[in-house]
Amino acid sequence: MSISEEAYRVMEDIVGAGYISSDAVDMEAYRGGVEGYGASMGFAKVMSRLPAAVIMPKTTEEVQKIVRVCNLFKIPFIPVSTMFWLAQSVPHVEGSLLIDLKRMDKLEIDEEHMYALVESGVIYSQLQEQAMRRGLYTTVPGGGSQVSVIANMLDCGFSPLNFRNGFPSRRLLGIEWVLPDGEILRTGSLAFSDDPFWGEGPGPELRGILRGNAPGWNGSFGICTQMAIKLSPFQPEKLEPSGISPHTTLQLPPKRMRWINFTLPDREALINAMYKIGEAEVSAAMTKVPIFFRVVAKSESKEDFWELWRKESEESLAKFHVLRVLLIGYTSEEQLDYEERVLMDIMGELGGEPRRTKPTDESWFKNADSAGMWLMAGGYISVEYCLETIESAAQQGEDYATLKKQYTPPLMADYGDPGWFQSIEIGHGGYFEFLIFYDPREDTNRVDHFYLETAKLNIKKGHWTSFCGSSQPIRLIGPAYGPNFHLWMMKVKETFDVNSLSNPPVPYEHDVFIDRAEWMHPLEDWKDPIKDWKDPNME
Amino acid sequence: MKEEKIKLNVTEIENFYYDITRCIRCKGCKWVDHIYMPGVKFSTRCPSEKRYLFDSYSAYGRLKLAQAVIEGRLDFSEKMLDAIYKCQLCGACDVGCKRNLDLEIELPLEALRIRAVESGKGPMPQHKQIAGNIEETHNRFDAPHGNRQKWLPADVKPARKADIVYFVGCSASYAHPEIAEATARILNAAKSDFMLLGSEEWCCGYPLYITGQIEAAKKNAQHNTEAIRKSGAGVVLVSCAEGYRMLKVNYPKMFNKSTTEMGFKVVHLTEYVDELVKKGTLKFTKKMDLRVTYHDACNLSRLSEPWIYWEGTRGEWGVTNPPMPRRRGTNGIYQQPRDIIKSIPGLELVEMVRFRENAWCCGAGGGVKEAFPDFALWTASERLEEVKETGAEIIVTGCPWCKDNFNDAVKKDDINLKVYDFSELILQAISL
């Protein structure tokens, strides 16, 4: 299905001929399916569609006009900025317009009021560099520093640094939003001034509606074109880049910043340490190190990884309780010294032993190289990320690890590793992410099964789920966690997107996938509470 | 998983199907290494992606196009050729990917052009014209072959027999005799005897290889290799980055050999001079009170690591057996030119934002200057914007094609900047 010539011409007038294309070669370059996050999994294979056209607006006004044209001509559209989450960044219905926001790359920092104003094409490492030059910083998320700040802030945005600077959603200030019908909505202080310094109001708080739940609306609620983000004060010394690719790193100023890895005697000691460090209100970040991460970090190549990985075992994993703690002397060198002494006292009590740790950061400040997660097996996806207590984060991982054994292979054997968890918001919460690895060249149907079964496990055991808006079938999750939040989501969506054009069929896309994927049908044992709902754009 | 046999051989693009289909769009091929990320300005490394914006003009998009060709969904239409040839094949994407995913990127892009030529559709008409020139006159300019050694000054006498043979290249032989002359005088000053291949030197084959015309490139490679062997030289000294990479990397690649099996060592002038300076054989006596920036020519830097031929299998989890050697750009010629600059009295080296493996290409390579001169010039102008921020009075590079393209951009943009080939800078510094 193509976009009518008339509609195409109108859009060409909006952006100029060089910024729109429907050429088959250009479209092929946007093909989804076998690559990226969740590569070759059923969702990507079944749901991905080539766009009918790609357009690249430069301004909010152009975005607004394009969305209005889409409504006039009933063209489904999907906004993208970096397309890192490829399965969610390609159209899911035929005849879609892909709105690539990469040209919108404005980045301004208000140093005095400690916030950044970014457009959709700005990525984290750009923001982080500019922030650090002004003595400020933000959180570079696990997804990587190459992801769009706006897309990620709307989606998840978590990193170990959230220990200190909190939930990403709490750092959203003024937002500019082109709604699915083309209306522009400005929230917070942007609603009545040019300064986006404040996030709330006027009137009812809209940021929750606009964001949706983690992982957000995935482009099904219009297009966020500008966002102001609160920055946090950083320590004053420069993190010096060094090395030649691929061995590049940031040298940490030794008197101001220090990662320390501790080996703890057991799981309980590790969790206790996380709680106690939070209670003492010291450190800037902490994360439990999955053994997989460690072996990845030690490997020079895929082959090297497998040689090392095969030397690990359930026994070695059972003894591997490593907590990685970051200290920052935000206010002074003395702060770091004090926090280190407190930390050592806590570790002393719990039997934690410091390990030799490099005085560098390769990951969390400017890189967050999640890309390395794909290197070893070829296929990777996180089947859940949870925001609960530290204890429940650990428990959920252990439950997943038990379930996973039934699906290994095709999943990569990992000796029962319960995943990655960290402390957030000064120990008041735990963040858990369960990463699975597989070879996309193998039959991935059982990978799809495991993915779905984790949602059922969450329901059965009362675990938290972040996948309330998308990433799992809403017909399954809604009644279990609602009892009717899914109906509310659909009503909100229908109210704002009357023509159902903004990235359909999100937030219903996993339901559609399961309807379409025969190998998923035997697992579809839930009652369909909104069976009659049909997306008008689905063929 | 059944094991598949693969080779590091660009004549069959299917060898790289795994790499082509394992891209995750982390865009390591697009962005400057995040550790060195300077902010929004100068934050990308791929000229083609920045100029043309659509994914089909990026490494991650071109891999999709390669996949579509292998799977029979696309053929080499005019638009397809436009997408695959508007690229300098500068290797920035390859190095960036290997920071993250360790996939082969440069090789499948080379293989895609070879497939385009095999299909009868590629390369671009201008590339075919150059191939004709090389066939006729053994140089890309269609200049008389007999003039190849016309640059040689009367007072410089090459040796009849020496361990070093200076492979002059088309640019220095015909277009930039000052480079050839400077190189020869530097060797004289260092009392390093050298031979010339004379009429036995043919075009190195870069304009053929890089546009996918591999059979013609191989013919030149065979001829030059034979000539070098006949000369008995153990060292081939090159002052041109394109020639350097051809002789060191692409000749063995085309012959399914490793660099170490070629029977001679290939050395760039900057490597050679750096060694002489460090040994004390060559001294810089002239003070040059100048602020200089150094441009890492792609073929001398990230693309110049020795070639290691490999064939084996890829099995479970994509693991190769024996382990496939990776060329990640780590060991390119980066430090030697910088050390030379630093050892010249009075010279102040100021780095550009994107330097070493993250350097922005000058724009001339990959057949772009010939087929898409506007794009080549645009790319050079982008680089000169970076130069401006350094406050440098001189930009120096180890490649005559970079020099040409920068000079064209300097003229177009009316910038007060001198462009030097490294040989010229060294010659001035030894103050003959």
What does the pLDDT look like over B99-140, one tens digit per residue?
988 999 999 999 999 999 999 999 999 999 999 999 999 999
What is the token pair recorded at B238? 């090159």
Closest CA to B205 of B259, B244, B152: B244
Q: What are phi and psi of A335, to 5 degrees?
A: -60, -45
Q: How far apart are CA A122 and CA B44, in angstroms?
A: 12
C-beta separation of B242 from B169 below 8 A: yes
Using the Cβ of B283 and the Cβ atoms of chain A, whether some distance falls under 8 Å is answered with no
Please report the ipTM that was assigned to this predicted complex.
Answer: 0.95
C-beta separation of B153 from B159 below 8 A: no
Q: In this complex, do B318 and A146 lie within 8 Å of one another by their Cβ atoms?
A: no
Report, in this order, helix, strand and coil percent for chain B, each rounded to 5: 50, 10, 40
User: To 10 degrees, the CA torsion angle through A128, A134, A138, A144?
Assistant: 10
CB neighbours of B426 closer than 8 A, spacing ≥ 6? B182, B186, B269, B273, B284, B340
pLDDT in tens, B185-194: 999 999 999 9
The CATH architecture to which B136-279 belongs is 3-Layer(aba) Sandwich (3.40)
Q: How far A54 CA sits from the closest chain B CA (Å)?
A: 8
User: Which of chain A's residues have a Cβ under 8 Å away from the Cβ of B64?
Assistant: 28-31
Q: In this complex, do B100 and A369 lie within 8 Å of one another by their Cβ atoms?
A: yes
Which pLDDT band, with edges at 50, 70 and 90, does A376 fall under?
confident
User: Which of chain A's residues have a Cβ under 8 Å away from the Cβ of B60?
Assistant: 29
The predicted pLDDT at position A214 comes to 64
CB atoms within 10 A of CB A298: 11
C-beta separation of A289 from A241 below 8 A: no
Instruction: Decide if pLDDT at A142 tops 90.
Output: no
Which pLDDT band, with edges at 50, 70 and 90, does B298 fall under?
very high
CATH topology of domain B283-296+334-432: Rossmann fold (3.40.50)
Q: In this complex, do B25 and A83 lie within 8 Å of one another by their Cβ atoms?
A: yes
User: To 10 degrees, the CA torsion angle through B294, B298, B301, B303?
Assistant: 180
Question: Residues 74-93, chain B: which have Cβ within 8 Å of A?
Answer: 74, 77, 79-80, 83
Q: How far apart are CA A298 and CA A499, in angstroms?
A: 52
User: Which of chain B's residues have a Cβ under 8 Å away from the Cβ of A244?
Assistant: 329-330, 334, 356-357
Beta bridge partner(s), residue B411? none
Q: How far apart are CA A179 and CA A43, in angstroms?
A: 27
Q: How far apart are CA A207 and CA A200, in angstroms?
A: 8
Q: In this complex, do B324 and A303 lie within 8 Å of one another by their Cβ atoms?
A: yes
Q: How far B64 CA sits from the closest chain A CA (Å)?
A: 5
User: Is residue A196 classed as helix, strand or coil in its secondary structure?
Assistant: coil
Closest CA to B348 of B304, B409, B294: B294
What integer is the mean pLDDT of A54-79? Answer: 98
Instruction: Decide if pLDDT at B371 tops 60.
Output: yes
- The H-or-E segment that residue A374 falls in is helix A372-375
CB neighbours of A348 closer than 8 A, spacing ≥ 6? none
CB neighbours of B148 closer than 8 A, spacing ≥ 6? B138, B139, B168, B173, B174, B198, B199, B201
User: Which of chain B's residues have a Cβ under 8 Å away from the Cβ of A24?
Assistant: 74, 79
What integer is the mean pLDDT of B420-431? Answer: 94
User: Which of chain B's residues have a Cβ under 8 Å away from the Cβ of A100?
Assistant: 53
Beta bridge partner(s), residue A438? A379
DSSP states along A205-221: --HHHHH-STT--TTSS
Q: How buried is A254 (Cβ within 10 angstroms: 0-12 exposed, 13-18 middle, 19+ buried)? A: exposed
Chain B's closest residue to A18, CA to CA, is: B52
- Does B1-122 match B283-296+334-432 in CATH topology? no
Share of chain A above pLDDT 70, in %: 96
User: Is residue B338 classed as helix, strand or coil in its secondary structure?
Assistant: helix
Q: Delimit the domains of chain B by residue range.
A: 1-122, 136-279, 283-296+334-432
Helices (H), A133-266: 149-155, 162-165, 207-211
Return the residue in A50, A244, A365, A366 with the most chain B beta carbons within 10 A, the one to mutate for interface testing: A244
Q: How far A67 CA sits from the closest chain B CA (Å)?
A: 20
Q: In this complex, do B22 and A378 lie within 8 Å of one another by their Cβ atoms?
A: yes
Return the residue in B1, B3, B24, B82 with the most chain A beta carbons within 10 A, the one to mutate for interface testing: B24
How far the first Cα of chain A sits from its last, in Å, is: 10
Q: How far A190 CA sits from the closest chain B CA (Å)?
A: 23
Q: How far apart are CA A279 and CA B297, in angstroms?
A: 54
What integer is the mean pLDDT of A37-58? Answer: 93
Beta-strand pair A97-100/B348-349: unpaired
The predicted pLDDT at position B241 comes to 98
- N residues, chain B: 432
Closest CA to B46 of B127, B136, B109: B109
Q: How far apart are CA A462 and CA B413, in angstroms?
A: 66
User: Which of chain B's residues have a Cβ under 8 Å away from the Cβ of A369?
Assistant: 34, 99-100
Instruction: Decide if pLDDT at A274 tops 80.
Output: yes
Using the Cβ of B328 and the Cβ atoms of chain A, whether some distance falls under 8 Å is answered with yes
Chain A's closest residue to B80, CA to CA, is: A25
Using the Cβ of B154 and the Cβ atoms of chain A, whether some distance falls under 8 Å is answered with no
Share of chain A above pLDDT 90, in %: 71
C-beta separation of A81 from A105 below 8 A: no
Chain B's closest residue to A305, CA to CA, is: B319
Instruction: Decide if pLDDT at A216 tops 90.
Output: no
Which of A25, A248, A362 shows the shortest C-beta gap to B65? A25
Q: In this complex, do B55 and A244 lie within 8 Å of one another by their Cβ atoms?
A: no
CB neighbours of A149 closer than 8 A, spacing ≥ 6? A118, A122, A123, A124, A127, A138, A227, A229
User: To 10 degrees, the CA torsion angle through B300, B303, B307, B312?
Assistant: 180
Answer positive or negative: Cα dihedral of A463, A467, A468, A473: negative
Chain A's closest residue to B19, CA to CA, is: A378
Using the Cβ of B108 and the Cβ atoms of chain A, whether some distance falls under 8 Å is answered with no
Q: In this complex, do A146 and B61 lie within 8 Å of one another by their Cβ atoms?
A: no
Q: How far apart are CA A377 and CA A38, in angstroms?
A: 12
What is the token pair recorded at A416? 């029962």
Q: How buried is A416 (Cβ within 10 angstroms: 0-12 exposed, 13-18 middle, 19+ buried)? A: middle
| B1-122 CATH choice from 3.40.50, 1.10.1060, 1.10.10, 3.30.160 | 1.10.1060
Q: How far apart are CA A87 and CA A40, in angstroms?
A: 9
Look-up of token digits 């300098």: B88
C-beta separation of B39 from A126 below 8 A: yes
Instruction: Decide if pLDDT at B70 tops 50.
Output: yes
Instruction: Decide if pLDDT at A530 tops 70.
Output: no
What integer is the mean pLDDT of A402-425? Answer: 93
Amino acid (1-letter code) at residue A97: L
Using the Cβ of B70 and the Cβ atoms of chain A, whether some distance falls under 8 Å is answered with no
The predicted pLDDT at position A539 comes to 46
Rounded to the nearest integer, the mean pLDDT of chain B is: 96
pLDDT in tens, A481-510: 877 888 888 888 999 999 999 999 988 899
Using the Cβ of B34 and the Cβ atoms of chain A, whether some distance falls under 8 Å is answered with yes
Q: In this complex, do B330 and A28 lie within 8 Å of one another by their Cβ atoms?
A: no
Residue B129 vs residues A437, B124, B209, B402: alpha-carbon distances, Å: 50, 9, 14, 21
Instruction: Decide if pLDDT at A531 tops 60.
Output: no
Instruction: Decide if pLDDT at A535 tops 60.
Output: no
Which pLDDT band, with edges at 50, 70 and 90, does A36 fall under?
confident
Does the global pTM surpass 0.80? Answer: yes
Using the Cβ of B204 and the Cβ atoms of chain A, whether some distance falls under 8 Å is answered with no
Closest CA to B295 of B401, B375, B180, B204: B401
Q: In this complex, do A302 and B102 lie within 8 Å of one another by their Cβ atoms?
A: yes
What is the token pair recorded at A434? 């369960």
Q: In this complex, do B68 and A372 lie within 8 Å of one another by their Cβ atoms?
A: no
Using the Cβ of B98 and the Cβ atoms of chain A, whether some distance falls under 8 Å is answered with yes
Q: In this complex, do A378 and B56 lie within 8 Å of one another by their Cβ atoms?
A: no
The predicted pLDDT at position A195 comes to 93
Least confident span in A19-28, A184-193, B53-62, B261-270: A184-193
Which of A30, A146, A441 shows the shortest C-beta gap to B26? A146
User: Which of chain B's residues have a Cβ under 8 Å away from the Cβ of A374?
Assistant: 22, 24, 101
What integer is the mean pLDDT of A104-119? Answer: 97
Q: In this complex, do B27 and A84 lie within 8 Å of one another by their Cβ atoms?
A: yes
